[in-house]
Structure 1
Amino acid sequence: MNQTPRIFLMLLGATLLFHITLNYMDKNIADFETVPLPPKKIKKINSNNPIIKVNAKDRNTWMLVEFTTGKTIQISEREAETDKIGQANWDLGFSRTKIISNGGKTNPFGKTGIINLGLVNFDDVKSAPKTGYVQDHRSLGNLINKELAGWYNYRTRTHNIESKRNVYALKLNNGIFMKMRILNYYCSQKDNECRSMLCTREEAACLTIEYVLSQPGSQQFLDTLHVKNIQSQKNLIE
């Protein structure tokens, strides 16, 4: 039996159904436009130590963070050049890839200092150095801390930022010591996933930071088991 007529009728029916569907969608396009897209799946960054996530998307403001309390204050670039920056309790300030500390030229009355320990195992850092903490200075008119200035790699092919994951020792404004490591820069993607694709600016500047505080009066960092009971393990600062 010749199958050609049957195949022709099947193709004709499929074409007719396709056009009916298109016609229906065209007349009811508003219904399809208002259907929300599924939420973007956010890649979680895990650590056995406390993690804090800082929203530093606004390039015209600084997000100031006090790590011992988790409190923040957002100030403008202009306010950062006034006495207002010295009236708040904070340790580090974030604006996109830029990071400042509460000391030196940023705030002469602040006491925060930083040491870049390099690419070492985070959990192997058991105590903070006694001396050598660097405060902010001014370079070409910009506030900068040289220990933190090179915390990331910039990939020219995809224009993405990727943390070097260096470990930093800090003497905070209240005298407590802290070690920290920047784990990630993007809000919903991991840094290394942006090596092969373009991650947009809207997805950037949500810094994920791993940190451990010392006990007051001590330079020793608690081990992970004690840290879980004392410090908040997951915080989102916006």
Structure 2
Amino acid sequence: MRVESRENAGARRPVGLYLAGVIFLLVIIVVVAGSFVRPDPLTFVPTPVVPRPPAEYFVVDTVTVDARDGSEWVYFDFDKGSAVAGPLAGWDLAVNRYHIIVNGGAGYAGAGGAIATSVPWAAVTEAPAGGYATTEGTVDEGAATPGLEHWYQYGFFSHLLEPKDETYVIRTAEGRYAKLRILSYYCPQATPGCMTLLYGYQGDGTRRLTG
């Protein structure tokens, strides 16, 4: 009886190994197949650079900043609702490819800051009085604003940068307030470098972030 039990056990062992091998092979096939499936990202055409008169009330808008040229930063001013010619024109955010910073911190002329929150856009109705992160480093040496720097998740299979489900509260260079969502990082034809921002900017100087 003992001999028969050992023989039965020996017969079952290869079957188990074969089954494990088949499962492993299926997993590899799924992983490899998934690496070739690239979903189409949400894309936007860059917004023309057309500065407008300063807003005196709460304004909601969407803008696509063309930051495809990694050799230079593109500057955006909430007050003008547009990208601006350069840092001397006054700015609140600067974008370089997937990097985004505020005009605030050591070595910066503005009072800018940022807070990242998981609170839904509509529920962010007032900017906090404090707790804002400012930019560290210079635009020539790897500038980064904590909270804004890691606005994305990297898609392992898609190889795309996907915006996190976060709302950012921004203190502008002039000490006013805005709320911000990052919608996409892609231009048409899935070209990276077009940072599309949904924002609500309060032009009256209060911390109220609703119309």
Check whether TM > 0.5. Answer: yes
Question: % of aligned pairs identical?
Answer: 30
The answer for the alignment partner of 1:146 in structure 2 is 146
Q: What TM-score comes out, normalization by structure 1 length?
A: 0.59
Question: Which consecutive residues of structure 1, in runs of 5 or more, have no partner in the other structure?
Answer: 1-41, 76-84, 190-198, 224-238
Could you tell me how far apart the structure 2 residues matched to 1:43 and 1:64 are? 21
Q: Which residue identity is paired with 1:176? A: R
Residues 146 and 43 of structure 1: CA distance in aligned 2, closer, same or farther (over 3 Å): closer
Does 2:198 align with 1:210? Answer: yes
Query: What is the root-mean-square deviation of aligned Cα atoms in Å?
Result: 2.4
1:173-200 Cα deviation digits (max 9, x unpaired): 12211000101111137xxxxxxxxx4x
Residues 161/43 of structure 1: CA separation in 2 closer, same or farther (3 Å cut)? closer
Tell me which residue corresponds to 2:173. 173
Q: What CA deviation, in whole Å up to 9, does each residue of 1:185-225 have, x standing for no partner? A: 11137xxxxxxxxx4xxx111111111012423111223xx
Q: Deviations over 1:135-193 (max 9, x none)?
A: 11139x5211111111001123332111113101111012211000101111137xxxx
Distance 1:66 1:142, change over 3 A: same
Structure 2 unmatched ranges of 5 or more: 1-41, 46-59
Residue of structure 1 in register with 2:159 after alignment: 159
Preserved CA contact (<8 Å) 1:58 1:96? yes
The corresponding residue for 2:78 is: 67
Contact 1:215 1:221 in 2 (8 A): no
3-state SS of the aligned residue for 1:123? helix
SS of alignment partner, residue 50 of structure 1? strand
Structure 1 position 43, deviation (Å):
5.5
* SS of match in other structure, 1:72: strand
Cα separation, 2, equivalents of 1:143 and 1:207: 17
Distance 2:125 2:157 in 1: 38
8 Å Cα contact 1:171-1:178 kept in structure 2 = yes
TM-score for the superposition, normalised by structure 2? 0.66
Residue aligning to 1:125: 124
Match of 2:105? 104
CA distance in 1, matches of 2:92, 2:183: 18
Equivalent pairs counted in the alignment come to 155
Q: Work out the CA distance in 2 between the residues paired with 1:50 and 1:72.
A: 13
Secondary structure at the aligned position of 2:196 is classed as: strand
Alpha-carbon distance in structure 1 between the residues aligned to 2:150 and 2:43: 25
AA aligned to 2:98 is T
Partner SS for 2:114: strand
Q: 2:43, 2:186 within 8 Å by CA — same for their partners in 1?
A: no
Shift of 1:92: 0.5
Give runs of ≥4 in structure 1 deviating > 4 Å.
42-45
Residue 74 of structure 1 and its aligned partner are, at CA, apart by: 5.2
Q: CA deviation at 1:104?
A: 1.1
2: CA distance, partners of 1:161 / 1:72: 22
Aligned to 2:93: 92
